């Protein structure tokens, strides 16, 4: 999350932009779970976001 926030928006990857969006809407712990689930290939956890 720190890296996603440190990179300028113009240079951010799609994943970094996704992380920033999650961080604005969800608590820190839920963002970490969402990132872990995405990397594990389990996407529908936060499908409503």
pLDDT digits 0-9 by tens, 21-43? 999 999 999 999 888 888 887 66
Contact 12, 4 (CB under 8 A): yes
Which residues contact residue 12 at a Cβ distance below 8 angstroms, ignoring those fewer than 6 apart? Answer: 4, 20
- Look at residue 45 and tell me whether its pLDDT is greater than 90: no
This prediction's pTM: 0.71
Q: Which of the two residues, 11 and 4, has the higher pLDDT score?
A: 11
- State the residue for tokens 């799609």: 14
Count of domains for the chain = 1
Q: What domain range is 12 assigned to? A: 2-46
């Amino acid at each position: 999350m720190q890296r996603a926030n440190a990179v300028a928006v113009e240079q951010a990857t799609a994943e970094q932009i996704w992380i920033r969006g999650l961080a604005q809407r969800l608590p820190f712990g839920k963002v970490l779970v969402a990132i872990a689930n995405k990397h594990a290939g389990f996407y529908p956890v936060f499908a409503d976001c």
